[in-house]
């Protein structure tokens, strides 16, 4: 925790919230947020969210099996500092770099206004949007090897119907040199300061191949303008990739003929520690994960058939099948797919739990995607607690 005394916000004392939710470390709290403004701007009702201060996670028990999409009001928030308020009428996206058809230094950038961007051809795409650290708390609670950072359960994820323009379209119009290899996306939020080091604005480079494939510059979600917390006026979305790749409040794109680096692909968001080699590459495609639409430690009334519902998703494509165990992994049975398949962002499934006995149980869901990737029973440790994709042992009590 920060040593700076935190003032109460409209959601209560952040220190108390952090203590109660098992937050291990909050690096780099923004000064202005500490000075009293909330980190997150949208309401975070406790029925929908676990509130960690700069971050908030969706409660899976608040997810209705009747709703496929995650509405912006319910989507998790992950801010390195605090949500900025940006005026769309003065906003500009600056594009520069040595691999534009006409090379441009930063001070000669092409400037696109919000109106310029919104006049471009519209693309809509539903993706699973997920934080790299989703599930991090299970490194501690399930594997006995705690990793610092927000102690997410499984709610740092949502299925979002984005609206925007293909980045490829924008880059074609600006003019791209065939030698382009990487694009650096930089946010307009405050510099990230942690442990006395100013790492500068949140920024992360990605290969030009992803930029030309399915990357989007997004202004809308769920048929409305983005909420401030989710990147208003414009954010980047890199479908299927780690959440950090989808830079919010996008301020600039630098297109380079050489590989670019930032602390967000050298220090963080790559595997370090544990048995990983020192040169592990930056993380890109999300792994396979599953969640039950149930409270953690839910209490359910005994019935002949207890209906369970849940969802599974993968950064690599659709889910092929899901197996459920209600005896802590002793036996497995196939779940019924309710909605999924190709082009779907995640797969909804259901399972009939027949004649459960009264008492404590462990329910587990294990998905396999069409790429053949199956959730493991144990995730190898890494020191930042990324990509916890092991099958989660969900406690349920039948009364």
Binding interface with ligand MTE (CB under 6 A): 75-80, 129, 131, 187, 189, 202, 229-231, 243-244, 246-249
Q: What DSSP assignment string belongs to 73-119?
A: TTS-EE-SS-PPP--TTT-EEEEEBTTBSS-B-GGG-EEEEHHHHHT
Given 38, 233, 240, 243, the residue binding Mo ion (CB under 5 A): 243
| Residues contacting residue 277 through CB under 8 Å, at least 6 positions apart | none
Residue 78 near Mo ion by CB under 5 A: yes
Read off φ and ψ for residue 345, nearest 5 degrees.
-75, -40
What is the closest distance, in whole angstroms, from the C-beta atom of residue 314 to ligand MTE in the complex? 17
Beta carbon nearer to ligand MTE, 82 or 100: 82
Query: 247 touches which of Mo ion, ligand MTE, none (CB within 5 to 8 A by kind)?
Result: ligand MTE
Beta carbon nearer to ligand MTE, 6 or 221: 221
Q: Edge-to-edge strand order for the sheet containing 288-292?
A: 288-292, 305-314, 347-354, 336-339
Beta carbon nearer to ligand MTE, 229 or 369: 229
What is the closest distance, in whole angstroms, from the C-beta atom of residue 105 to ligand MTE in the complex? 23
Query: 77 touches which of ligand MTE, Mo ion, none (CB within 5 to 8 A by kind)?
Result: ligand MTE
User: In the bound complex, which residue of the shown chain has the CB atom lying closest to ligand MTE?
Assistant: 187
Beta carbon nearer to Mo ion, 151 or 256: 151
Query: 255 touches which of Mo ion, ligand MTE, none (CB within 5 to 8 A by kind)?
Result: none
CA-to-CA dists, residue 246 to 188, 250, 279, 329, angstroms: 13, 9, 23, 35
Distance of CA 359 to the CA centre of its chain: 34
Alpha-carbon distance 352 to 336, whole Å? 9
Residue 131 near Mo ion by CB under 5 A: yes
Alpha-carbon distance 298 to 394, whole Å? 9
Q: Contact positions toward Mo ion, by CB under 5 A?
A: 78, 131-132, 243-244
């Amino acid at each position: 925790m920060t040593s700076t005394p935190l003032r109460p916000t409209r959601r209560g004392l952040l220190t108390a919230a952090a203590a109660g939710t098992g937050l291990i470390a909050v690096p780099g709290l923004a000064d202005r947020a500490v000075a009293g403004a909330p980190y997150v701007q949208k309401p975070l009702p406790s029925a929908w969210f676990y509130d960690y201060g700069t971050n908030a996670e969706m409660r899976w028990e608040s997810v209705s099996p009747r709703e496929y999409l995650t509405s912006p009001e319910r989507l998790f928030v992950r801010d390195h500092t605090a949500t900025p308020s940006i005026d769309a009428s003065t906003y500009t996206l600056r594009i520069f770099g040595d691999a534009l058809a006409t090379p441009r230094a930063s001070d000669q950038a092409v400037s696109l206004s919000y109106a310029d961007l919104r006049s471009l051809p519209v693309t809509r795409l539903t993706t699973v949007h997920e934080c790299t650290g989703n599930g991090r708390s299970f490194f501690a609670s399930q594997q006995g090897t705690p990793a610092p950072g927000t102690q997410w359960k499984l709610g740092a994820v949502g299925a979002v119907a984005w609206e925007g323009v293909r980045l490829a379209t924008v880059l074609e119009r600006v003019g791209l040199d065939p030698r382009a290899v990487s694009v650096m996306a930089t946010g307009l939020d405050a510099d990230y300061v942690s442990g006395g080091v100013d790492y500068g604005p949140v920024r992360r480079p990605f290969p030009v191949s992803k930029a030309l494939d399915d990357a989007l510059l997004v202004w809308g979600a769920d048929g409305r303008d983005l909420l401030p917390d989710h990147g208003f006026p414009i954010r980047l979305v890199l479908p299927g990739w780690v959440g950090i790749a989808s830079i919010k409040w996008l301020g600039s794109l630098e297109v380079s003929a050489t590989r670019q680096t930032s602390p967000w692909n050298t220090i963080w968001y790559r595997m370090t520690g544990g048995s990983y080699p020192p040169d592990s590459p930056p993380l890109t495609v999300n792994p396979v994960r599953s969640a039950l639409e149930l409270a953690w430690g839910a209490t359910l009334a005994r019935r002949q058939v207890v209906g369970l519902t849940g969802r599974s998703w993968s950064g690599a494509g659709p889910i092929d099948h899901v197996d459920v165990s209600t005896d802590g992994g002793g036996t497995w049975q196939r779940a019924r797919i309710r909605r999924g398949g190709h082009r779907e962002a995640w797969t909804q499934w259901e399972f009939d739990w027949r004649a459960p006995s009264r008492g404590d149980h462990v329910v587990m869901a294990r998905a396999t995607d069409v790429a053949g990737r199956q959730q493991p029973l144990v995730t190898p440790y890494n020191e930042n607690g990324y990509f916890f994709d092991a099958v989660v042992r969900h406690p349920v009590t039948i009364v």
